A and B are shown apart, each in its own frame.
Chain A
Amino acid sequence: MKFSVKAWSKGRARVGILQLPGLPVSIETPCLLLSTRKGLPHFLSPDLLSSLPSPDSHLLQVSPLHFLEGLSTKTISNIGGLHQMLALQDYGFSAVPRDSIVCLPESDASNKMGASFETPCGRFLIKPVEYMKMTSSLGPNWWVSLSDEVPAWVSEKRNKTSVDRTVRWLDECIMSSQTDGAVFGAIVGGCSVEERKRCAAEVMKHDVSGYWIGGFGLGENIDERPALLDAILDIVPEEKPRQVCGLELPEEILQGVAAGIDIFDSTYIYQLTVGGFALTFPIDNRKTHAISHYQLCDIGSDLTKINLRAVVYRKDDSPIVDECGCYTCQNHSKAYLNHLLNVHEMLAQILLEIHNTHHYLGFFRSIREAIKSGEFLEFHRDSTVNEPRLNKPSLKASFHHRPRRRLPPSAVPPPESPSFNSNQVENGGG
Chain B
Amino acid sequence: PSFMALRFEILGRFNRARAAQLTLPHYVCQTPLFMPVGTQGTIKGLTTPQLEEIGCQIILGNTYHLELRPTSELIDEFGGLHKFINWPRAMLTDSGGFQMVSLLHLADITEKGVTFQSPVDGNPMLLTPEESIEIQNRIGADIIMALDDVVRTTTIGPRVEEAMYRTLRWIDRCIAAHKRPNKQNLFGIVQGGLDPVLRDICVKGLVERNLPGYAIGGLAGGESKDSFWRVVAQCAAALPEDKPRYVMGVGYPLDIVVCSALGADMYDCVYPTRTARFGTALVPEGVLKLKNRAMADDTRPIDPTCICMVCKNYTRAYIHCLVTKDAMGSQLVSYHNLYYMMKLSRDLHSSIIEGRLPEFVCGFLQIMFPKGDVPEWVCNAMEAAGIDISPCLRSPPSSPVTTKQSLI
Bound Cα distance A43, B46 (Å): 10
Given A71-B318, A430-B248, the answer on whether A345 and B296 have CB atoms closer than 8 Å is: no
Given known contacts A71-B321, A342-B70, A343-B40, is B331 in contact with A430 (CB within 8 Å)? no
Interface membership of A332, Cβ < 8 A:
yes
Whether A428 touches B44, Cβ cut-off 8 Å, given contacts A37-B326, A40-B328, A79-B315, is: no
* Interface hit among B84-92, B205-213, B386-394: B84-92
The 0/1 profile, CB within 8 Å of A marked 1, for residues 302-327 of chain B is: 00000001101111011011101111
Q: How far is the CA of A79 from the CA of B330 in the complex (A)?
A: 21
The interface residues of chain B lying within 8 Å CB-to-CB of A48 are 47, 50
Shortest CB-to-CB span from B132 to chain A, Å, is: 12
Inter-subunit contact A346/B94 (CB<8 Å): no
Chain A 258-296, CB-CB to B under 8 Å as 1, else 0, gives: 000000000000000000000000000000000000000
Which residues of A, 375-430, contact B by the 8 Å Cβ criterion? 417-420, 422, 424-430
Which stretch (A19-27, A333-341, A360-368) binds chain B? Answer: A333-341
In the complex, A45→B94 CA distance in Å? 31
Residues of chain A with a CB closer than 8 A to B98's CB? 429-430
Alpha-carbon separation in the docked complex, A418 to B150 (Å): 34
Contacting residues, chain B, for A343 (C-beta < 8 A): 40-41, 65, 69
Q: Least Cβ distance of B200 to chain A in Å?
A: 21
- Interchain CB contact (< 8 A) of B309 among A45, A72, A335, A430: A45
| Complexed CA–CA distance, A400 and B7 (Å) | 66
Residues of B contacting A347 with CB < 8 Å? 42, 44-47
Contact of A424 among B44, B53, B150, B189 (CB under 8 A): B44
Give the residue name and chain of the B residue nearest to A425 (CB): B39
Residues of B within 8 A of A46 (CB): 309, 313
A46 closest partner in B (C-beta): B313
A359 interface residue (CB < 8 Å to B): no
Q: How far is the CB of B281 from chain A (nearest CB, A)?
A: 15
Kindly state whether residue A350 has any CB partner on chain B within 8 Å. Answer: yes
Q: Which A residues are in CB contact (< 8 Å) with B42? A: 340, 345, 347
Contact in complex: A429, B268 (CB < 8 Å): yes
Count how many chain B residues have C-beta atoms less than 8 Å from C-beta atoms of the other chain: 73
The smallest beta-carbon distance between B33 and chain A, in angstroms, is 13
A339 touches B70 (CB 8 A): yes
A336 & B86 in contact (Cβ 8 Å cutoff): yes
Q: Are A428 and B270 in contact (CB under 8 A)?
A: yes
Interface residue from B44, B64, B86, B335 paired with A345 (Cβ < 8 Å): B44
Given the interface pairs A71-B321, A346-B330, the reply to whether A314 lies near B74 with Cβ below 8 Å is yes
Asked if A426 meets B37 with Cβ closer than 8 Å, knowing A75-B297, A315-B77, A335-B84, the reply is yes
A426 touches B274 (CB 8 A): yes
Does residue A297 face the partner (Cβ distance < 8 Å to B)?
no
Residue of B nearest to A274 (CB): B327
In this complex, the member of B50, B74, B85, B312 whose beta carbon has the largest number of chain A beta carbons within 10 angstroms is B85
A335 and B44 within 8 A (CB): no
| B60 close to chain A: CB less than 8 A | yes
Candidate in B44, B215, B312 with the most chain A CB atoms within 10 angstroms: B44
Which residue from chain B places its CB closest to the CB of A338 in the assembled complex?
Answer: B70
In the assembled complex, the Cα of A31 lies from the Cα of B41 at a distance in Å of: 36
Partner of B330, one of A120, A351, A420: A420
Say whether A67 faces chain B, with CB atoms less than 8 Å apart.
yes
Chain A residues contacting B314 (CB-CB under 8 Å) are 85, 87
Is B3 positioned at the interface, with any CB of A under 8 Å from its CB? no
Given A347-B46, A426-B44, A427-B103, A75:B249 Cβ within 8 A = no
Q: Could you tell me the dominant secondary structure of chain A's interface residues?
A: loop
Q: Given A79-B299, A426-B39, are A71 and B328 also a contact pair (CB < 8 Å)? A: no
The reply to whether B327 and A427 form a contact with Cβ atoms under 8 Å apart is: no
Cβ of B97 within 8 Å of any chain A Cβ, yes or no, is: yes
B332 within 8 A of A: yes
Interface string of B210-224 (1 = CB under 8 A from A): 000001010010000
- B 37-85 contacts with A by CB, 8 A: 37, 39-42, 44-50, 53, 60, 62, 64-65, 69-70, 74, 77-78, 84-85
Given A332-B86, A335-B78, A72-B60 contact (CB < 8 Å): no
Q: Which residue of A lies closest to B297 (CB)?
A: A75
Q: Does A12 contact B (CB under 8 A)?
A: no
Given that A335-B84, A350-B47, A430-B98 are known contacts, is A38 also in contact with B326, CB under 8 Å in the complex? yes
List the A side residues contacting B78 at CB < 8 Å.
317, 333, 335
B95 is an interface residue with CB less than 8 A from chain A:
yes
Residue of B nearest to A45 (CB): B331
With a cutoff of 8 Å between Cβ atoms, the chain B residues found around residue A85 in the complex are 314-315, 318
Contacts of B297 in A (CB 8 A): 72, 74-75, 78
Q: Does A63 contact B (CB under 8 A)?
A: no
Chain B residue nearest to A331 in the complex (CB): B86
Task: Assess whether B155 is interfacial by the CB under 8 Å rule.
Answer: no
Interface centre among A45, A46, A350 (most CB of B within 10 A): A45
Question: How many angstroms between the C-alpha atoms of A47 and B150 in the bound complex?
Answer: 42
Q: Which residues of B contact A122 (CB under 8 A)?
A: none
Interface residues of B in 272-286 (CB under 8 A from A): 273-274, 277-278
- B148 closest partner in A (C-beta): A430
CB-CB under 8 A from A37, the residues of chain B are: 326, 328
User: Separation in Å of the B16 CB from the closest CB of chain A?
Assistant: 23
Nearest-neighbour CB distance to chain A for B147, whole angstroms, equals: 10
For the complex formed, measure the closest distance between the CB of B101 and the CB atoms of chain A, giving whole angstroms. Answer: 9
For the complex of A and B, list the 7 residue pairs with the smallest distance between their C-beta atoms, beginning with the closest: A70-B321, A430-B98, A87-B313, A347-B42, A429-B94, A429-B268, A339-B70
Can you name 27 A-B residue pairings with CB atoms under 8 Å? A37-B328, A42-B328, A47-B53, A48-B47, A70-B321, A75-B297, A75-B317, A78-B299, A79-B299, A315-B74, A327-B47, A335-B78, A343-B65, A346-B331, A350-B47, A350-B331, A351-B47, A420-B277, A420-B330, A424-B44, A425-B65, A427-B37, A427-B65, A427-B102, A428-B220, A428-B269, A430-B248
Contact surface of A with B, Cβ cutoff 8 Å: 37-38, 40, 42-43, 45-48, 67, 69-72, 74-75, 78-79, 85-87, 120, 314-315, 317, 327, 331-333, 335-336, 339-340, 342-343, 345-347, 349-351, 417-420, 422, 424-430
Chain B residues proximal to chain A, CB less than 8 Å: 35, 37, 39-42, 44-50, 53, 60, 62, 64-65, 69-70, 74, 77-78, 84-86, 92, 94-95, 97-99, 102-103, 145, 148, 150, 189, 215, 217, 220, 248-249, 268-270, 273-274, 277-278, 296-297, 299, 309-310, 312-315, 317-318, 320-322, 324-328, 330-332, 335
